[in-house]
Amino acid sequence: CAPSANILAEPFETDGLHKDGSSVVGPCYKKCISHTPGKQISDSVSKAMNRFWDTINEQIGAATAKAGPLSIYVQAILTALVNRVLTEGYGLLFAKNEGIPGYGDLGGGGDMPEIFDPTEIGQDKIAIGLLEIKFPFFKTSLDELLIEQTTNWDILDSILKKYEAADLVLDKILDPVNNCDSSTKAWATTQKGIVAGEITKVRGEITAIGIKIAGTKSAIGRVSVIIADIEEYYKKYDAWKKVYDTSGGTYNPADSNDPVTKALIELDEVKEELIEQLQGLLTDINGSYTGDTIPTLTQEISDTYVDVSNVIIPRLKAERGDQDSPAVGTLYARLETAKALKLLADEELASCGVNAFYKQIITYTYAVNY
């Protein structure tokens, strides 16, 4: 209803006419609208819904933008929640008096599919990636650890054998058959007590380091198993990711044939195997573990690698000492002590025979002269 073209018309007068031919005086609109009650309600609802969806979409977009790499999951979750509210809301409109929920209750959502939270899987994958990077270095460190442990075991074994050999010589000195004098026998008796203590000590050390060596060998053997488990995990992860993206994150955990559920089961099986192997490796090296998830175990593996490289291996080398000029208390120094005792015991035993020979000569000479 455009304003009247008549310059003498009233400000709100139009060229429209009533049935009696008089001019229509009223507000002018850019276009004519039929204002029936139904039309008015429909337009109002339409505008309200448009504003509602604009607001919802804006909020979903803002939340998604802040989610970073998890944006696709946030969008799926929020959209599903909105759909759920609307679905149940429409359900209430048509439910009449049957099954209407009470105040504050959204009603049943049994038909709404579950949405899987991928946060834990994402954390596992990141941890496994770090594990994969560090494992070659850890394997090298374990190989070096085994060499150091075995070297120290060999020296301890040599110490034990020298003391055992010296102990046998001391027994011969104390044997009356060898005619050793009382001072030599007293010395031998004292040395046997010392040697017995050293033998007990060294045997304990050999047993302890033998257990460590067995643990290191077991850990090295697990490395190849863990690497294979990591490769299998990646395969199962890719399979899960594919069906997860296809489903938009929705799944039915109660249905073992649901693609996402099935992929999750297979992924969890590999994950549990990997966790078991990591815990076993830590037990082999440290005697125990504390973590029960891949991220926590990965951190423990990292800490153990640092400990093996920077603490355990240097300590084993320090315990062994320098073979050419061993410091007091080192394994090489203890080996030299055991060798020296064995040599001295041999000399004392040899002197017992010489003394007996000279005693015979002196006795014979004395008898002849007499």
Contact 205, 319 (CB under 8 A): no
Name residue 233's amino acid.
Y
Convert 298-312 to b/e letters by CB count within 10 Å (16 or more is b).
Answer: bbbbeebbeebbeeb
CA trace torsion 91, 94, 97, 99 (10° rounding): -20
- What is the rounded radius of gyration, in angstroms, for the C-alpha atoms of the chain? 46
pLDDT reported for residue 31: 47
pTM for the model: 0.66
| 347: three-class secondary structure by DSSP | helix
Each residue of 36-88: pLDDT tens digit? 555 555 565 566 556 666 677 777 777 666 666 556 556 666 666 666 666 65
**What DSSP state is assigned to residue 324?**
S
Q: Which amino acid is located at 11 in the chain?
A: P
Q: Model confidence over 282-313: pLDDT tens digits? A: 999 999 999 999 999 999 999 999 999 999 99
Strand-pair category, 250-251 with 114-115: antiparallel
Count of Cβ atoms closer than 10 Å to residue 294 Cβ: 23
pLDDT for res 174? 95
Cβ neighbors of 194 (< 8 A, separation 6 or more) are: none
* End-to-end C-alpha distance for the chain, whole angstroms: 168
How many helices and strands, by DSSP H and E, does the chain display? 8, 4
C-alpha–C-alpha distance, residues 196 and 343, integer Å: 17
pLDDT tens for each residue of 240-265: 999 999 988 888 888 889 999 999 99
Residue 12 pLDDT > 50? yes
State yes or no: pLDDT of 147 exceeds 80.
yes
Q: How far apart (Å, rounded) are the C-alpha atoms in residues 16 and 2?
A: 9
Distance CA 239, CA 270 (A): 13
Residue 367 is predicted with a pLDDT of 37
E-assigned strand segments in the chain: 13-17, 23-25, 114-115, 250-251
Compute the average pLDDT of residues 180-190: 95
